[in-house]
Amino acid sequence: MTEKSLAYARENRANRPLIEAILQKAAEGKGVTHREAAVLLECELEDLNQRMFTLAKQIKEKIYGNRIVMFAPLYLSNYCVNGCVYCPYHAKNKHISTLFVAIAPITTNKINNTLTNPNDILSSPSLS
């Protein structure tokens, strides 16, 4: 998230019309941008925070029902173009060699579950 987005969120943490509009957008299932999410996270209006929590629960139950859903990323390589600070594979990490896997030509050998095209895997620190 950029400094501009964080500053925008701090500036609008008590902007009731804006926060209500973002919540309405979420309620309609239209999703929110990272900047809008930052505003919601910075919100200092307690009644809107409670509304946000209630809405989040409603959206979660509409999508997933009364169950817990967990997602586990499946990494086929450690090459990444993103900058997620929690992940060691982020693009700005120059301390690891990256492994780029060309997805299209990879197939699985049905007999022994091995890659049939291992030459399509390239390893280079310059790819990150």
Tokens of residue 33, six digits: 């941008």
The secondary structure of the chain in percent helix, strand, coil, rounded to multiples of 5, reads: 45, 5, 50
Tokens of residue 66, six digits: 């009364």
Task: Please tell me the least confidently modeled range out of 16-20, 84-88, 122-126.
Answer: 122-126
Query: Mind listing the pLDDT tens digit for each residue in 63-98?
Result: 888 888 777 766 667 777 787 777 777 788 888 777
d(CA 51, CA 57): 10
d(CA 75, CA 70): 16
- For the CA atoms of the chain, what is the radius of gyration? 21
